[in-house]
Structure 1
Amino acid sequence: AQDREVREYTVRSIYFDSRNYEDYRAKVEGLKIRKKLRIRAYNEVSPESSAYLEIKRKRGGYIFKDRAPFVYQDIEALFESRDIDRYIPLNGSPAAQDSARKFFFHLHRGMLRPAVLVIYDREAFFSKFDPSLRLTFDKALRSVLTDKVTVFNREIGLRYAMPSHFIW
């Protein structure tokens, strides 16, 4: 997602869930097949920043990700209209619009809503021998409950989890 020269960056995600937090409970209970929907952006988010609709699915030991890029300033219009043809560009991955359709299908089917903003700082290391191999260390994990899709730069009210620890 980021330039390989930039090894440290901030990850900002808004996770969606049902009113009963079914996706969160699936994670806590260790279900082998589960999914989570999120919007992800990086570093300080400006109106011109790229953001991504993502569906991350886990099946046993395998992880699959559907991802659709959009311009952050379009986030409210995208969620109000769900006009994928207008807001999800075709010039990136040809599967992007398909991924966006899947995202909104699951959003509607599961009656999902924004649930939590999660922010952390990440340092990535890439293999010299295999460019697809990446090891990441996350730190300064912080979060806050939210019901909005437009709070990516929020820093007030965030609660830190596991201060002084790395997550990998």
Structure 2
Amino acid sequence: MAIEVFNRYENKFLLDQTTYQKIQQRLLWYMEPDQYNRDQEFYTISNIYYDTKDNYLIRNSLAKPKYKEKLRIRSYGTPKADAKVYVEIKKKVCGLVNKRRTALKLDEAYNFVSTGIQPELKIYMNKQVMNEIAYILSLYSLEPKLYLAYDRKALFCKDDNDLRITFDTNIRTRRYDLRLESGDYGESLLERDQWLMEVKAEKSIPLWLSKLLSEHKIFPTSFSKYGVEHKRMVLRNKQLKGDVNVCLRPYSTQRQLVPQYL
């Protein structure tokens, strides 16, 4: 059974192609590909993010409160109508990320999130998580807002099962045709050959990893895929109105912060 509850700290890093190639080779000294990458270099994750009509959840998230939450439906690849997907709640409390999810059939997931009515309980569902999702749905009037997909390579530590590192590339989004089964396409979120690396750990990261990041001058940055897309949309709307003239791609591997390791 897939893990349905996660509690961990997550640090994010933006890498260029050269740094990505160097770092992943070194990481394989200590880590190995997860089950989805054993037969393929990348696997695709597709999401539909839900929010209020006025985008309250993502606006609140970007304000960096001590507590924030998101709701999404996630699939691996492009699902068919009867495929299993995950409905996920992602919360962040004082820096600790908590993710809870339950498996549902695609049509069950759509119906649940749109109506707030839980489907008939089946063996592959997590009743407790469905109760939590139902509670969030009772608090907010949510609607599908964004399709977001990316190709991922994931590694886990041979000696520490709590440590996981992922590399995401080819991040693409769209704000129309918001159905997972409609296909894997959208507008690129990052520059070509740019990578988002995430270090996920329940405790502090090991010393060897801290040294490796310092050696390659890889420093944490604040980056939310949904958040970056939302800010880009807001800026684009302002440009169309003639209110502002700004760059729609403010993120680059040259704009990273002072290291703040866990």
Please indicate the TM-score interval, normalised by the length of the shorter structure.
0.7 to 0.9
Question: Which residue number corresponds to residue 190 of structure 2?
Answer: 162
Query: Aligned partners of 1:83 and 1:70: how far apart in 2?
Result: 13
Contact 1:122 1:139 in 2 (8 A): yes
- Quote the offset at 1:18 in angstroms: 0.8
Q: Work out whether 1:144 is the aligned partner of 2:174.
A: yes
Question: Which residue number corresponds to residue 31 of structure 1?
Answer: 65
Question: Which residue number corresponds to residue 99 of structure 1?
Answer: 129
Question: Which residue number corresponds to residue 165 of structure 2?
Answer: 135
Question: Which residue number corresponds to residue 97 of structure 2?
Answer: 63
- After superposition, the Cα gap between the structure-2 partners of 1:108 and 1:114, relative to the gap in structure 1 and judged at 3 Å, is farther
- TM-score where L is the length of structure 1: 0.83
- TM-score where L is the length of structure 2: 0.55
Please point out which of 56, 63, 66 is paired with 1:22.
56
- After superposition, the Cα gap between the structure-2 partners of 1:109 and 1:70, relative to the gap in structure 1 and judged at 3 Å, is same
Structure exhibiting the larger radius of gyration computed from Cα positions: 2
Q: CA RMSD in A?
A: 2.5
Q: Percent identity?
A: 24
- After superposition, the Cα gap between the structure-2 partners of 1:146 and 1:109, relative to the gap in structure 1 and judged at 3 Å, is farther
- Quote the offset at 1:103 in angstroms: 1.3
- After superposition, the Cα gap between the structure-2 partners of 1:85 and 1:116, relative to the gap in structure 1 and judged at 3 Å, is closer
Q: List runs of 5+ in structure 2 lacking aligned partners.
A: 4-32, 198-262
- Quote the offset at 1:159 in angstroms: 1.0
- Quote the offset at 1:108 in angstroms: 3.1
Contact 2:79 2:180 in 1 (8 A): no
- Quote the offset at 1:76 in angstroms: 4.2
Contact 1:12 1:152 in 2 (8 A): no
Query: Aligned partners of 1:147 and 1:110: how far apart in 2?
Result: 22
- Equivalenced residue count is 162
